[in-house]
Structure 1
Amino acid sequence: MPDIAIKFDNISKRYEKGSSTIRESIAKLFRGSKDQNYLTHESPASRSNAFWALKDVNFEVKKGNTLGIIGPNGAGKSTILKLLAGITEPTTGKITINGKIGVLIELGAGFHPEFTGRENIYLNGAIMGMGKKEINEKFDNIVDFAELQEFIDTPVKHYSSGMYVRLGFSIAAHLEPDILLIDEVLAVGDASFQAKCLKKIGELKQSGVIMVLVSHNLHSIRILCDKTILLNQGNIIFYGETETAINNYTDLITKKTEPSSTEEVKFRSKDKEKKDKAEILEIEFLNNQNLKKDVYYTGEKLILAIKYLAHCKIDNPVFTLGIYSIDGILYAGHSTALDGFHIDSIEGYGTVKVEFEHLSLLPGIYEISVGIFDKEGLSPYDWHQKSYRLHVVAGGRKATGLFYFNHRWQVE
């Protein structure tokens, strides 16, 4: 098995309810806990509280490949990373790992809070089997990448979450692991550092480092991962091409949360005085025949209809629309004011429609915000923030990135 870096062979993992987190497990390692059950999370109590985080999981990762793992919360994604990191052990089955592992799977995991940033760099290097001379050679690059020159001799217990992430990622990336495990922690950093991390991940991938990436950011999964596992309730329901895994994931999410105007609203304007003047009743997703649909294809025409009730005459209202990724990134923000579309007044029941002739969103689940604002566009009469979901599938259009733009190729 010379080209196989990771192999899971019929792996199952049972936990007891109330068992510890990754950080608590690693903290026990640092404290030298005498609890012999801290790795497997076995409880001396009755096993009636047990649940299976993973059930008969099988997969292989070849050297030089990047594996993505996606799925709903509680699907078992982080459990796989904990097993790979050796933080916990399987209840049944065998794990084979060929290579040195770098870990970035929970904010602050692997750091001793009383140690400085400098001391934690040497601690993590030693855990990975590196000597002091080798760590010395990489030390400056680690600190420079993390942008923590002024704080490297400060105990990490005083670090912000962003500083934790910068140092943790820099250590994991620069200590030359053969296999790098990455969880959602990158979502904590600012946008510029996230971009910096993605660039570094790309460099590591090019250099042959095997990576296992857990993320709800489907864009990152799409551009980085050669193969992707889709987990649900501890079972692998798909393992293969990343684009197919993403499409299956969006189908799964759609079945769990109906992407329609009936979905529970996450946030509504609570200004009763304003809402007594106008309110949004619902929105509808319509096709080119003005028929309601739940699922749209990339490139298809989409009409978004905002149904409202104005309890009195409102002059010069502004209607707004926001389109967000499932992890909260604003992809597009539109308003009647920005588009120069003037509405003299509204009163009673009515509908405002916005048409997208060719939907440019790539496959995924998107959250929609809509609002009715005063003429300055600053104060909402009613605002439904990320209250509706739009499901987009590929159809015949394929691309990478965030959007699909209508285009054609030609040779002259």
Structure 2
Amino acid sequence: MTESVAISLRQISKCYRRYTHPVDRLRELLLPERVQAKEFWALRDINLEVFQGETLGIVGQNGSGKSTLLQIVAGTLTPSAGEVHVNGRVSALLELGSGFNPEFTGRQNVFFNGRILGLSQKEIEAKFDTIAAFAEIGDFIEQPVKTYSSGMIMRLAFAVVANTEPSILIVDEALAVGDARFQARCMKRIRQLKEQGTTILFVSHDSSSVKMLCERAVLMNHGCILESGSPKEVTNHYIALLSSDGPEAFLPISEKFMPVIAAGNEDIYENSLDRPRSGGTVTDTMSTNAEPNFESIALGTRDPSCRHGVGIAKISAVKIMNLQGQELIKFETGTAISIEISILANEDILDLVVGISIRNLVGLVLYGTNTFLIHREPLVLTRGQHLIVSFKVPCHLNRGVYTLTVAAHSEEGLSYDWADELLVFEVFNSGKCDGLIDLQAKTESCIEPTTELLRQI
């Protein structure tokens, strides 16, 4: 295996022996010539190479062998035949709480799993605060894992595997357990690891995530790889495969990754240097010399990496409201919303620009604009003034979970204050369309006259 190859699988097969009755195992031990078991091949002759830094999506129906394949790569399962070569440290998120001892506390499990992953005691101690902050389970970190909810277990498990600098990251549909805000954080962390050159194996039933996150995808069915190629083609064939098995086998792909949004208006603390993109037209209203009429959210109090800027202006509060002034974290497609941003001027400012950027969970910018693009002139503030900018936006987003980034910067692009993926919100609709946006199409239909009728006319 060359250094450019992170994972090499050659002629991998996995066979399980199934017995009709438990006593058949004993009979086979006593009478080995009389085979009592039936063979089930979970994998057959798998050949696959994954290159260093590549993000590979794996799709397939339940029972197609995806999890078995990942367990073999992770080293938790031995193949019945074939060769496995893995080049680098592997961190795997395969099953809820796998590798956790329920009797140990969260802290003890962090150190235990860290040692399994090959980290020294000092390395784990240096990373522990980062892991605990990412998990956000508070004092439960000192309690036994058996007292955790499923969401808390997933938070801690992902925090460990994502913050131990893996060479290879394996994620097996585990993120569907978390709430919307935590899923947004996890997807962002996966994007960061991808940018850092981490090799990623990503299993998901959400075809849009596979298309946007992965460079290549494979389709598995009945323990075999049916296809390997571009994520677009592979996921389209996957959907066709689901449809061909009858209505009872069909899964609502677009809803599989849809989490239940958590109550609250909390922020996301991750690092990104993306800037809001231009596009579209909105109307906005501004007022100055007024105290914000809503409570400030905690901006950057735990992880300052999500914020940057010289501090001439400060974003003190952000909310999504409807036109009646009610705060929203979940609303329907077509709702007219107002994104309210409060800015405090720490110095006199002659060239202030306030912008917004809306992204989906895989980081795709769906809409971005700012006050300069709309008005073609910067805003002016004097030291100590408060500015409330309200972007009035008709929401045409389709159902899904999205993040909001807000920024205050100069006309030349100097960042005064930047809060990346600050809010997470959910959009729902009646399922009239697929895709990222709802263009609210209308239909008309009529029956054309037949040829015989035309002759009579």
Residue 109 of structure 2 aligns to a residue whose secondary structure is helix
* Separation in structure 2 between the aligned mates of residue 79 and residue 18 of structure 1, nearest angstrom: 20
Q: Find the counterpart in structure 2 of residue 15 from structure 1.
A: 16
Alpha carbons of structure 1 residues 361 and 190: separation in structure 2 relative to 1, 3 Å = closer
Q: Find the counterpart in structure 2 of residue 131 from structure 1.
A: 120
* Separation in structure 1 between the aligned mates of residue 250 and residue 228 of structure 2, nearest angstrom: 34
Q: Find the counterpart in structure 2 of residue 402 from structure 1.
A: 436
1:108 and 2:97 matched: yes
Deviations 1:131-170 (A, max 9, x none): 1111111000000000023111101011000000000000
Residue 114 of structure 1 aligns to a residue whose secondary structure is coil
Taking the TM superposition and a 5 Å limit, the aligned residue runs for 1:319-334 are 325-327=254-256, 329=258
Q: Find the counterpart in structure 2 of residue 149 from structure 1.
A: 138
Aligned-pair Cα RMSD in Å: 3.7
1:86 and 2:87 matched: no
Q: Find the counterpart in structure 1 of residue 412 from structure 2.
A: none
1:59 to 48, 70, 79: 48
Alpha carbons of structure 1 residues 52 and 264: separation in structure 2 relative to 1, 3 Å = closer
* Separation in structure 2 between the aligned mates of residue 265 and residue 126 of structure 1, nearest angstrom: 42
Q: Find the counterpart in structure 1 of residue 7 from structure 2.
A: 6
In structure 2, what residue type is equivalent to 1:2?
E
Q: CA deviation at 1:186?
A: 0.7
Q: Percent identity?
A: 42
Residue 104 of structure 2 aligns to a residue whose secondary structure is coil
1:77 and 2:111 matched: no
Deviations 1:116-145 (A, max 9, x none): 000001001111111111111100000000
Larger radius of gyration: 2
In structure 2, what residue type is equivalent to 1:66?
T
* Separation in structure 2 between the aligned mates of residue 193 and residue 74 of structure 1, nearest angstrom: 27
* Separation in structure 1 between the aligned mates of residue 432 and residue 77 of structure 2, nearest angstrom: 37
1:117 and 2:46 matched: no
Moved over 6 A (4+): 263-266, 330-335
* Separation in structure 1 between the aligned mates of residue 398 and residue 246 of structure 2, nearest angstrom: 19
1:140 and 2:135 matched: no
Q: CA deviation at 1:49?
A: 2.1
* Separation in structure 2 between the aligned mates of residue 194 and residue 47 of structure 1, nearest angstrom: 46
In structure 2, what residue type is equivalent to 1:109?
S
Alpha carbons of structure 1 residues 265 and 117: separation in structure 2 relative to 1, 3 Å = closer
Alpha carbons of structure 1 residues 18 and 193: separation in structure 2 relative to 1, 3 Å = farther
* Separation in structure 2 between the aligned mates of residue 133 and residue 198 of structure 1, nearest angstrom: 28
Q: CA deviation at 1:226?
A: 1.1
Q: CA deviation at 1:253?
A: 0.7
Alpha carbons of structure 1 residues 326 and 55: separation in structure 2 relative to 1, 3 Å = farther
* Separation in structure 1 between the aligned mates of residue 106 and residue 145 of structure 2, nearest angstrom: 6
Give the alignment's TM-score, normalised by structure 1.
Answer: 0.59
Residue 239 of structure 1 aligns to a residue whose secondary structure is strand
Deviations 1:319-358 (A, max 9, x none): xxxx9825174999789xx9xxxxxxxxxxxxxxxxxxxx
* Separation in structure 2 between the aligned mates of residue 84 and residue 134 of structure 1, nearest angstrom: 25
Taking the TM superposition and a 5 Å limit, the aligned residue runs for 1:374-385 are none
Give the alignment's TM-score, normalised by structure 2.
Answer: 0.54
Q: Find the counterpart in structure 1 of residue 204 from structure 2.
A: 215
* Separation in structure 1 between the aligned mates of residue 160 and residue 95 of structure 2, nearest angstrom: 14
Alpha carbons of structure 1 residues 44 and 135: separation in structure 2 relative to 1, 3 Å = farther
Q: CA deviation at 1:59?
A: 0.9
Alpha carbons of structure 1 residues 85 and 98: separation in structure 2 relative to 1, 3 Å = same
Q: Contact between 1:16 and 1:47, CA under 8 Å: does it hold in 2?
A: no
Residue 152 of structure 1 aligns to a residue whose secondary structure is helix
* Separation in structure 2 between the aligned mates of residue 134 and residue 44 of structure 1, nearest angstrom: 53
* Separation in structure 2 between the aligned mates of residue 45 and residue 202 of structure 1, nearest angstrom: 53
Alpha carbons of structure 1 residues 140 and 84: separation in structure 2 relative to 1, 3 Å = same
* Separation in structure 2 between the aligned mates of residue 329 and residue 124 of structure 1, nearest angstrom: 29
Taking the TM superposition and a 5 Å limit, the aligned residue runs for 1:300-311 are none
Consecutive unaligned residues of structure 2, counting only runs of 5 or more, are: 21-31, 260-329, 336-396, 400-430, 441-457
* Separation in structure 2 between the aligned mates of residue 230 and residue 118 of structure 1, nearest angstrom: 38
Alpha carbons of structure 1 residues 146 and 94: separation in structure 2 relative to 1, 3 Å = same
Q: Contact between 1:8 and 1:95, CA under 8 Å: does it hold in 2?
A: yes
Residue 124 of structure 1 aligns to a residue whose secondary structure is helix
Alpha carbons of structure 1 residues 45 and 238: separation in structure 2 relative to 1, 3 Å = farther
* Separation in structure 2 between the aligned mates of residue 180 and residue 241 of structure 1, nearest angstrom: 20
Q: Find the counterpart in structure 1 of residue 239 from structure 2.
A: 250
Q: Contact between 2:9 and 2:85, CA under 8 Å: does it hold in 1?
A: yes
In structure 2, what residue type is equivalent to 1:325?
S
2:222 to 227, 233, 248: 233
Alpha carbons of structure 1 residues 116 and 51: separation in structure 2 relative to 1, 3 Å = same
* Separation in structure 1 between the aligned mates of residue 201 and residue 170 of structure 2, nearest angstrom: 5
Q: Contact between 2:173 and 2:203, CA under 8 Å: does it hold in 1?
A: yes
Alpha carbons of structure 1 residues 69 and 389: separation in structure 2 relative to 1, 3 Å = farther
